[in-house]
Copies of this chain bind each other. A is one copy, B any other.
């Protein structure tokens, strides 16, 4: 008997009909002799509707109360799912994050899981019940207040519970059949990936692939928990995320896939004095605004001016706060101006085999040039090459790179509607 943790996103439980379908899938897993723990997101647009209500009563809702409000969403979906399972003749019990023992930091809106004490879940499983757990939420170890984990939180809940319960596998149900060599909405012949290492998945997630969130993959890697990314609309095998880069046979394909990201903006600090400590002061300022920086490029300064330009990318949502923080220190640091550009796109090529194959970057850049796309910034890691271009060039860039490395398959990938959090 295996212990399976399954996670269903918001689109999988968006309506009563879909909840019933998910219940059937869960019961089928139970019938096959498995112990089942299910993590569920809020139904469809519930979170957005609750956020809308919050903004109607307060322009800047307090984090503690926003978390209290949003966690009502999973409470609704999990109770309905438990009812739908009962209706199929199986015992199911729903648990809030707090009841399931998901202990977090107290940073409302983006709490981190500190520990999981799944005693009540284990008890429910021992009594033959299916345990349904609210994703995305927990309880602060210090303040005992309800917290939420931020974007992708339900995936992280699932992996954390799977690790704490020593599950055999954590199945993440989504609206696609797993991970593809590129987004099938942009590259119709993108190939399905059967298996991928944690490191490659981390790079894909960090580069904008939305199928799994970064933190969830980090958690899985830390605990060696295999993740099976599957579609909740089909019975096709999905993508197994498991194993380390060290285990990848040398003969494996050099390149895993292409990721893209439209969520970043670029800030350029013009005319920074070319002296020791200037860059440090700039990025201390940005860090104090709690902005996450991605790529950084510093131009060579000319002797004539003794000044240089520094550009960096960051999530668009962090842009205004970072600009405000930098504006305040302009005189102190002595730079000449700030430019904000939110019309950029990032395309990244990821592959564990890249390490031992020189020339990948050259082929990448050549494919961009052939497509007439200007490269604005470059960043690389051991298993990744990323470039920034105009956002209007992004789709063409993804297709060009995907073609250049011959990643395409013979069939069109199937795309389903919607996605969860």
On A, residues with C-beta under 8 Å from B are: 16, 19-20, 23, 50, 53-54, 56-59, 61-62, 64-66, 68-69, 71-73, 75-76, 78-84, 86-87, 92-94, 99, 120, 144
Contacts and interface: CB of A to CB of B under 8 A. Distances in A.
10 nearest A-B pairs in the assembled complex, by CB-CB distance: A16-B56, A69-B79, A68-B79, A58-B83, A58-B87, A57-B84, A72-B72, A72-B75, A61-B83, A65-B82
A76 B58 contact: no
B94 A80 contact: no
Contacts of A59: 87
A78 B144 CA distance: 17
A71 B64 contact: no
B82 A76 contact: no
A83 B71 contact: no
Nearest to A92: B65
Looking at A54, A59, A72, A84, the one whose CB has the most chain B CB atoms below 10 A away is: A72
26 contacts: A16-B53, A16-B57, A19-B57, A20-B57, A23-B57, A50-B76, A54-B83, A57-B81, A57-B83, A57-B84, A58-B86, A61-B83, A61-B86, A62-B86, A65-B79, A65-B80, A65-B82, A65-B83, A65-B92, A66-B79, A66-B83, A68-B82, A69-B76, A69-B80, A69-B83, A72-B79
Nearest to A86: B62
A99 B98 CA distance: 11
A50 B73 CA distance: 12
Given A19-B57, A20-B57, A82-B62, A76 B72 contact: yes
A59 B79 CA distance: 14
Contacts of A66: 79, 83
Contacts of A68: 75, 78-79, 82, 94
Nearest to A49: B76
A58 B120 CA distance: 25
B80 A71 contact: no
Contact of A80 (B19, B53, B120): B53
Contacts of A57: 16, 19-20, 23, 80-81, 83-84, 87
